[in-house]
Amino acid sequence: MANNNNKLRCRTVYAFAREMYPKTVKCDISYGTAGFRTRATDLEYVMYRMGLLAVLRARFKKAVIGVMITASHNPEPDNGVKLVDPMGEMLEQSWEKWATKIANVTDDKLENVIHDIIKECDIQNMNDRPEIVVGKDTRPSSPSLAKAVFDGVLAMGGKPIDYGIVTTPQLHYFVVCKNTNRAYGQPTEEGYYRKLTNAFNKVRGEKLNNGNYTNSILYDGANGVGAKKVKYLKEGLAGSLLIDMYNDEIIGSGKLNYLCGADFVKTQQAFPTGLPRTPNTRCCSVDGDADRLVYYYLDESGKFHLMDGDRIATLIAGYLKEILEKTGMAQKLKLGLVQTAYANGASTDYITNKLQVPVACVPTGVKWLHHKALEYDIGVYFEANGHGTVVFNAEAKEKLRNAFQLNNLTREQKDATSRLINIIDIINETVGDAISDMLLVETILHAKGWDITQWEAAYADLPNRLLKVTVQDRTVISTTDAERKCSTPVGLQEEIDKIVAKYSKGRSFVRPSGTEDVVRIYAEAATRQDCDKLASEVAKIVHELAGGTGSPPEISE
């Protein structure tokens, strides 16, 4: 009977693919850190197939799997999809190959790939009906693409759970809540807001302002889901944090991520449109799916100042070290910070020598940061773009809870332990979450009594520059040492080292793009002039030795 059901299901899968979701795009698409991401008009068949794959993954893991429809900081005409694993992680890397294969196979071979997955992964429970939770962002293309995912889930015999329009971090949160039998929290939007705001209000107490800190902030919602959802957050905060919202035109405005949002602010090093330009006022921006966060302000002369992921990471790591020392458990719990090669060298120096917190460097991509952070009892990780969080392992949480029950703690130790336990609930540990991270930053600034200029004064960033060189084939570049060294082409790294050695505090690395035939170049040095010269020289040698096309990039004044 089971075999007959499987045959019937496979016929249904093929019928849907042929009649409703035929593969219409000839070029292949690759599943990467961000899942699949391209023009929305090219994605219906991919969405259907990801619904199929999500059910297979759920049966393999015997758990709830998530599907998020979003293109994050991309322009509004784009869209994308990614799968969320049982504990809120990105899809396991070994299954990325299956995602790529099932997305690119021709319609008539789709059943064969499904059979290959079932056989290679030894999936036995093909009659189970696992839950697949599905969320989408505010793009006009998302509803039709969500339907394609639902049809894929149903064709493979799964049960789609529609969460509607949610942030990417919220969907990760729902997956973990369901797979931990609600131990992590209630798998509802109300449960998400309640968990974060209750913990935030407990830690803040009745003293809304402290020192130079004031409890108001200007919030750029990127005209996306982050604008929609922070309105509900404000209700739970009940005035403990005053959020003035801007760029909150949501569905169909055509303004998603346009001249605003975290990616625009970070890459353009510029103030977003729509916000009042009031000097020394604390501002923050999220991106289109609300998993990135950056802070910034304008000084009295109108100069722009950015607090990116590096600044957020150092603020959090420094504060967690302070509070750990007050609990008396600093020697029992290992705190660490994880960065990528794109982290500003000044931040790494500050963390290592001033804060004296261990630092690890991993390749670009949140999945690498998250996995490395799990090696610590308390792991802080952020990309420079503002995507990151803090993870606490189960033993660390248990040690804190047990310590709080002891009668021999001093008042300071007791208060600090209680505070840290509550801070854990402010944090969405499953993935970088702009809303959760904002509450954490506000908690720390309030505790320190700092305004945004005091936060920035902790250290001075080294001038840095990002360039890209177009090449015939990006695969000629391969890297090692967390993407900080080139292994091919032969001789390129030696030439880069010679160039870097000429500049004070010089550092530069190159890495191939994951999606297009370009090589990305990062450079930093003690002065802006030296930084630009360094970047230009490295770009020229990459163009020469890696098969550059056209002219090497030039830096305009």
Residues recognised as catalytic: 72
Q: Can you name the residues that pair with 466 across neighbouring β-strands?
A: 522
- Is 385 labelled a binding residue? yes
Backbone phi and psi for residue 243, each to the nearest 5 degrees, phi listed first: -110, 110
Task: Please tell me whether 341 is known to bind a ligand.
Answer: no
Closest to 156 in 3D by CA, of 10, 348, 363: 10
**Cα separation, 552 vs 555, whole angstroms:** 10
CA–CA separation, 461 and 473 (whole Å): 33
Query: Dihedral of CA 522/528/530/532: which sign?
Result: positive
Separate counts of helices (H) and strands (E) for the chain: 18, 19
Residue 72, annotated as binding a ligand: yes
Is 24 known to sit in a ligand binding site? no
Please indicate if the annotation marks 9 as binding a ligand: no
Is 520 assigned to a binding site?
A: yes
Widest distance between CA atoms in the chain: 76
| Burial label, 236 (beta-carbon count in 10 A; 0-12, 13-18, 19+) | middle
Q: What is the DSSP letter of 127?
A: T
287 annotated ligand binder: yes
Flag whether 515 is marked binding: yes
For the record, the structure tokens of 456 come out as 């920035």
Q: According to the annotation, is 527 in a ligand binding site?
A: no
Annotated binding residue 552: no
Query: Could you give the CA distance from residue 531 to residue 211 in angstroms, rounded to a whole number?
Result: 37
∠ CA 389-82-436, rounded to 5°: 25
Q: How far apart are CA 271 and CA 259, in angstroms?
A: 9
Return the number of other C-beta atoms located less than 10 Å from residue 156's C-beta.
26
Is 512 assigned to a binding site? yes
Q: Going along 166-237, which residue ranges are E strands?
A: 216-220
Which candidate, 126, 121, 74, 83, places its Cα nearest to that of 103? 83
Q: What is the DSSP string of 460-519?
A: -PPPEEEEEEEBS-GGG-EEETTTTEEEESTTHHHHHHHHHTTSTT-EEEEEE-SSSSEE
Angle at 516 between CA 546 and CA 521, to 5 degrees: 50
Extract the tokens encoding 279. 């000097």
Asked whether 452 and 280 are in contact (CB, 8 A), the reply is yes
Peptide bond between residue 489 and the one before it cis (omega within 30 degrees of 0): yes
Q: Helix 2-19 and helix 44-61: axis angle, to 10°?
A: 160
Phi-psi region of 371 (alpha: psi -120 to 50; beta: other; left: phi over 0): alpha
Binding-site residues from annotation for Mg(2+): 72, 287, 289, 291
Binding-site residues from annotation: 72, 287, 289, 291, 383-385, 511-515, 520
Binding-site residues from annotation for substrate: 383-385, 511-515, 520
